[in-house]
Amino acid sequence: MKTLFALLLLLLVPPAYASADPVVGYWETEDHDAVIEFLPCEDSFCGRFVWLKEDSAENPSLDDLNTNVDKRGRPLCGLTFLGGFEKEDEGVYKSGWIYSP
C-alpha cells in the first residue's frame, strides 16, 4: 500500500525541470573567461560568478576597483553581479541591474 501511495504521489507532482526557466543554470562566457550561474532570486532572476579563469585559491580575483572602499576586498567568485531581471517573454528579460567589477 505504501508503494502505491508513493507512486501516486510521484505522478501528481510535476517534475522540477518542467517549471524551470531556460535561463536558469550555468553559462560560460563567449571568451571562456568565466562561468556564470543564473538563478531565481525572489520574484526575478540574478546571476553570480562561479568560476573565473584568472582566479585561484592563492590569488583570488577581488573587487578592488569598487567605488565603495569597504567592498574592495571581497572576492569576485560568488559575487552576485546582476539581478532584478523579470521575464517579459520567452528568452526576453527586462529591468534589472548589472554591476561591472
In tens, the pLDDT along 53-93 reads 999 889 999 999 999 999 999 999 999 999 999 999 888 89
Percent of the chain predicted with pLDDT > 90: 66
CATH number at residue 58: 2.40.128.520
Question: Quick check: 68 and 41 in contact, CB under 8 A?
Answer: no
Q: Are 41 and 34 in contact (CB under 8 A)?
A: no
Range of the domain at 86: 20-98
Query: Does residue 35 fall inside a structural domain?
Result: yes
Domain membership flag for residue 2: no
Residue 8 falls within a domain, yes or no?
A: no
Number of domains in the chain: 1
Residue 70 lies in a domain: yes
Number of Cβ within 10 Å of residue 5's Cβ equals: 9
pLDDT confidence tier of residue 19, bands split at 50, 70 and 90: low
Answer yes or no: is pLDDT of 26 > 90.
yes
15 in a structural domain:
no
